Structures are given as structure tokens and as C-alpha cells.
């Protein structure tokens, strides 16, 4: 079979003839035990694909497992709106809100059980985080490594601390190596890209590869439809390199893709690489052999910048380059997530002085800035920690009467771009900066990870004057309208239309429909003309049902329209 031969070839390329052959035997034995599934349908994507991003414990109710609270809320409010629920790491963990996994095969008992996960999977497709770069220092696997148990001897990456590692690209300003003591009392230094509690896995060990393939297949068996390859860019390490995006890393992504193509061809890979755009999209591979989706990391900071400056020029220029050659690939579009707003994706797009202005705005709006360590020992901004809603707050106004409309306008642009849109639950619910959480954990990222009491949330949603209600229901109208439009298929052709710097306009096309999506990104009314396009002048706004003349579309501050002839 072609996939099996491709798997063998990749393993030989990564590990060499002998070691690659041993790795192949280990992996094939796992595949042979797995119930192979056939692919349903022809394509991966649809305009009905909308993803909700949430922690398993974002919603709480006394006496109820958080995953069950989430399930009941999702079934009541979100079914028919969101197609997929992305549950952030729900495994037993020791730090980093789930990303220091102690046991890849269990559900954190404080959240619920696999039964709760499967219940959610009965009504929604599921997206899991595949934390494959590292494991908790408190995990049984790492303890077995310290005890030098068979199959775990090479679990971690041991490095002599005298070796020069200055070329290594760092996402954190923390020590790259951390000292640990084995059962023999021998002290070694192990690689820790993100923190001392997150031990990088050594993929030069085929025992490690075998274990992580087992994890991959287990998640598929538990109902995962999309697997987020967490921190994938740093997977393979080689001394005297920058240890990011190495050839072996890409080959491992190709390996995971080939395994899934063989056993579960409906399951998609989503690469998570918070890096500049061209590096990010390298994980599409040749269009068919790596990730089906990549996080569109440039979108959140660039969209933020556009609304802050009330200037769409940079956004429009960048968006023109979002064309993809393969219908097997698309972008994963988002503005907010459990993490902050990445800064590195703006490299080469905005000058440093403009980025500094964004940093000052974030600080003024109650947010924080995280820094990364550069090879020369200096630090540079890596991430802006703030809710996306409060990032868009205009503190220059005594009362920002446009706050909710400005945020919704930003989301409207996200939902018109090519790709699959994803919305973070805190954005959907209109959450503001959680300063109490930051004080509690002493971690800046907590600002956008609030634990909400469901009864309080529902009470606010029932009040039409509450900020949550103003965001929630208008957001729903936006999503429902998008789901019905074939022209918003993730891979449908598009054209960025020049309408001046105060508005952003995109045309989306399919066989039977054209949509002109226009958004005023400014605090002043604007008039936009689309007269150069050949569609009839009188067009219907899908969001309001009203008819407008596209030759002269007058938009209120932060108003958005989706015009079509259908």
C-alpha cells in the first residue's frame, strides 16, 4: 500500500536504514491493531465549519463537572451554530493550565471524564490538543526516565551545559537547560524549551516516537476530528542549529499525516506555530503531505493594529497573499485564544515603532507584554496578554460608545476571510480582562482565561443591556449568516477590493453566489463604491435583509455589510 511505503521511507529518512526499519516495525504493529476507517465525502472543509475554543473548565456550576456544564451550555446554545468544539488540554497536568501533561491518556478528574468528552462529541466534532513537544516533570514517563527504566532511558534530551546553544530560537526568557538528578545520583541537564516543568521529548529515540504515535491513535479513537500539533516548530533539536522548523520536524509532521491518511483520513492536522507568516505556512508542505490547516497567526495582531490606527492598508496588502494552491489546505482564522496576541507574526509587515505603539496601547488597556530571549542575549516582545475585547478599547474616549461594535467589526472581518473561523469562548461571551486571575496565579496569560460561573453568565445574557448580551447575540447572528453562504466556503476564491484606508472589503465567489463583505474600521462614517465590479448595483445585505446600492454604500462607524445578489 502506498501509505505504508511512504511511512517506511519517512522513517528511514529521519533515522537511517537500520533504526528507521526498527521504528517502522514498531509503528506498523500499532497501525495493524487500529480499526482503519474510510473517508467520508470528498473535501475536508465546508462553510458550516465554525470552531469554538474553550477550556474544559471555562464554565462552572456548583455540584457539576465542568465538562458537563460546558456540554449542557453548548447543546442548548451552540448546536447548529458551531460545528466543532476545541477543548484545550483536559488531561492531568502540573502547570501552564494544562500544557504540562502528566498523563496523555486520562481526563483531568477535576474536569470530568472521557464519558463527558464523548457526550460532547455526540453533538459536535471535537478538536484535541496533541501536546507532543514536551511532558510534565511530574509525569510517570519522566519518573521512569529518572529511574532509567527500559523504553524510557532516552525520553529527555541531555545536553552538556558547556555547549554553546546561543543559536537556538527561544519563545521564552527562561533557562533552556534544567538540572535533574537520576536515580543513580547522576546529575544531568535536560532540554526545556518552555519551562522547567515542561521536559522536551527526545524524538531521536524511536521509543519516544512509538509512544507518541500511540497517543496520536488513542486521540483518534476517542473521537478527535482535528489534532492541534502544539509547539510543533520546536520538535527536533540539533546542536549548532536554531532548532526551529528543522527538516526532521517537517518529516515528522509528514509521518503523522501519512499515518492518519492510512487509518483515519477524515482526521485533520492543525499546526500551531506562532512565527512570521512565511514560516507558518511552510507547514502546509506541498499542499497534500503536511497540515491541512495552519493557525493564521498574523491575523490577530494585524487586525488589532488596523482598528487601532483606523487604517486597513497593511491588512488589505497582507490579505491579498492568502491564496492557496491546494483545496486540501486552508487557514485556521482566529483573533483570540487562551494565549495572547502574538507579536512575531508582524515581523516584516510593520516597522518596530508601530509595534511599540501597540505595546503601549495594550499596557494602557490593562494588559501585559511577554518577551522572548534572542540569540544575542537581548529580549524582544513575543506576546501581548490581554483579552481581544479590551485590546480594542479606546481609552482616549471618556466613554467608549463604540467598544462592542468595534470588537464585532473585527470579528466580521475574520469571518469573511478564506479559512475556517474559530472563536474563543471568552470573546463569544464578551469577557473583559480578568485581573483577579492574574493576581491569583501571578501569570499574565491568566488575564484571558477566566473561570466563569454559568448562572451569572446566563443571567447577564438574559439582560439585553449587559455587555455580554450585546456581544453574544450579535456574534450569533454573524455566524448563522455565514454558515448559510456557499461563497464563504474556506477555499472559495476571493479578491481584496481597494476602497480606501478606512474600510476593508473582500469579495468571495462560488459558482452560484458572490458576496461583497465591507467593514468600516473607523470611528467616522464612510462611503464605499464597488462600481468597478460587474454585479448588479442593487444588492441585498445578508445581515439585515435591507437593499443597498453597491455604487454608494454608506457605513456608520464600525458597521459591516455582506452584500449579495442571492
Rounded Cα distance between 288 and 68, Å, is 37
**CB atoms closer than 10 angstroms to residue 377:** 7
Q: Over the range 98-136, which residues count as b (16 or more CB within 10 Å of their CB) and which as e? A: bbbbbbbeebbeebbbeebbebbbeebbbbbbbbbbbbb
Rounded Cα distance between 344 and 278, Å, is 12
Do the Cβ atoms of 370 and 413 come closer than 8 Å?
A: no
Alpha helices, DSSP H only, in 85-205?
A: 114-123, 140-146
For residue 480, the surrounding DSSP H or E stretch is helix 467-483
Torsion sign, CA atoms 375, 378, 381, 382:
positive
Rounded Cα distance between 116 and 523, Å, is 45
SS3 content of the chain, % helix, strand, coil (to 5): 35, 20, 45
Catalytic status, residue 230: yes
Q: What three-state secondary structure class fits 390?
A: helix
- Pairing of the two strands 59-60 and 452-453: parallel
Do the Cβ atoms of 93 and 194 come closer than 8 Å?
A: no
For residues 486, 491, 496, 502, the Cα torsion angle rounded to the nearest 10 degrees is 70
Do the Cβ atoms of 24 and 258 come closer than 8 Å?
A: no
**49, 57, 197, 230: which one is catalytic?**
230
Q: Which residues pair with 514 in a beta bridge?
A: 509
Distances (CA, A) of 74 to 52, 124, 134, 323, 425: 10, 9, 31, 33, 11
| Residues acting as catalytic residues | 230
Amino acid at each position: 500500500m502506498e501509505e505504508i511505503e511512504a511511512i517506511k521511507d519517512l522513517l528511514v529518512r529521519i533515522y537511517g536504514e537500520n533504526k528507521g526499519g526498527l521504528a517502522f516495525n514498531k509503528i506498523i504493529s500499532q497501525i495493524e491493531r487500529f480499526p482503519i476507517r474510510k473517508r467520508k465525502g470528498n473535501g475536508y472543509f465546508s462553510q458550516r465549519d465554525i470552531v469554538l475554543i474553550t477550556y474544559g473548565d471555562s464554565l462552572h456550576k456548583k455540584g457539576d463537572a465542568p465538562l458537563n456544564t460546558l456540554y449542557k451550555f453548548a447543546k442548548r446554545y451552540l448546536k447548529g451554530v458551531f460545528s466543532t468544539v476545541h477543548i484545550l488540554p483536559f488531561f492531568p497536568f502540573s502547570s501552564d493550565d494544562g500544557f504540562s501533561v502528566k498523563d496523555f491518556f486520562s481526563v483531568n478528574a477535576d474536569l470530568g471524564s472521557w464519558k463527558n468528552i464523548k457526550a460532547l462529541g455526540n453533538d459536535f466534532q471535537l478538536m484535541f490538543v496533541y501536546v507532543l513537544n514536551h511532558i510534565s516533570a511530574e509525569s510517570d514517563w519522566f519518573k521512569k526516565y529518572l529511574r532509567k527504566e527500559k523504553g524510557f532511558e532516552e525520553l529527555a534530551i541531555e545536553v552538556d551545559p558547556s555547549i554553546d546553544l546561543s543559536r537556538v530560537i527561544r519563545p521564552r526568557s527562561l533557562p533552556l537547560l534544567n538540572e535533574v538528578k537520576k536515580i543513580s545520583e547522576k546529575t544531568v541537564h535536560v532540554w526545556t524549551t518552555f519551562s522547567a516543568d515542561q521536559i522536551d521529548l527526545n524524538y531521536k529515540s524511536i521509543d519516544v516516537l512509538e509512544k507518541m504515535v500511540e497517543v496520536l491513535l488513542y486521540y483518534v479513537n476517542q473521537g478527535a476530528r482535528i489534532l492541534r500539533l502544539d509547539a510543533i516548530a520546536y520538535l527536533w533539536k540539533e546542536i549548532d542549529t536554531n532548532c526551529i522548523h528543522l527538516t526532521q520536524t517537517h518529516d515528522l509532521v509528514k509521518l503523522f499525516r501519512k499515518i492518519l491518511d492510512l487509518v483515519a483520513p477524515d482526521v485533520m492536522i492543525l499546526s500551531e506555530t506562532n512565527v512570521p507568516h512565511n514560516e507558518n505556512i511552510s507547514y502546509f508542505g506541498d499542499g497534500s503531505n503536511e497540515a491541512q490547516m495552519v493557525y493564521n497567526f498574523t491575523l490577530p495582531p494585524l487586525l488589532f493594529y488596523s482598528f487601532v490606527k483606523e487604517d486597513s492598508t497593511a491588512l488589505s496588502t497582507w490579505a491579498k497573499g492568502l491564496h492557496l494552491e491546494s483545496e486540501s489546505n486552508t487557514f485556521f482564522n482566529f483573533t483570540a485564544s487562551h494565549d495572547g496576541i502574538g507579536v512575531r507574526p508582524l515581523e516584516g509587515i510593520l516597522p518596530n515603532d508601530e509595534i511599540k505603539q501597540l505595546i503601549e496601547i495594550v499596557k494602557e488597556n490593562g494588559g501585559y507584554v511577554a518577551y522572548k530571549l534572542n540569540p544575542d542575549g537581548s529580549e524582544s516582545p513575543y506576546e501581548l496578554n490581554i483579552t481581544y475585547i479590551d485590546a480594542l478599547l479606546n481609552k482616549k474616549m471618556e466613554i467608549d460608545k463604540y467598544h462592542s461594535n468595534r470588537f464585532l467589526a473585527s470579528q466580521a472581518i475574520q469571518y469573511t476571510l478564506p479559512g475556517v473561523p474559530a472563536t474563543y469562548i471568552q470573546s463569544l461571551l464578551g469577557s473583559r480582562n480578568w485581573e483577579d486571575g492574574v493576581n491569583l496565579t501571578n501569570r499574565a496569560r491568566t488575564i484571558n482565561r477566566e473561570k466563569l460561573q454559568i448562572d451569572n453568565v446566563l443571567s447577564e445574557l438574559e439582560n439585553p443591556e449587559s455587555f455580554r448580551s450585546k456581544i453574544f447575540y450579535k456574534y450569533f447572528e454573524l455566524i448563522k449568516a455565514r454558515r448559510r453562504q456557499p461563497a464563504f466556503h474556506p477555499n472559495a476564491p476571493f479578491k481584496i477590493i481597494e476602497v480606501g484606508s478606512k474600510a476593508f472589503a473582500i469579495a468571495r465567489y462560488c459558482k452560484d453566489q458572490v458576496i461583497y463583505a465591507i467593514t468600516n474600521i473607523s470611528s467616522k462614517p464612510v462611503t464605499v463604491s464597488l462600481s468597478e465590479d460587474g454585479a448588479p448595483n442593487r444588492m441585498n445585505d445578508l445581515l439585515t435583509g435591507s437593499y443597498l446600492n453597491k455604487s454608494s454604500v454608506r457605513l456608520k462607524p464600525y458597521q459591516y455589510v455582506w452584500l449579495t445578489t442571492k
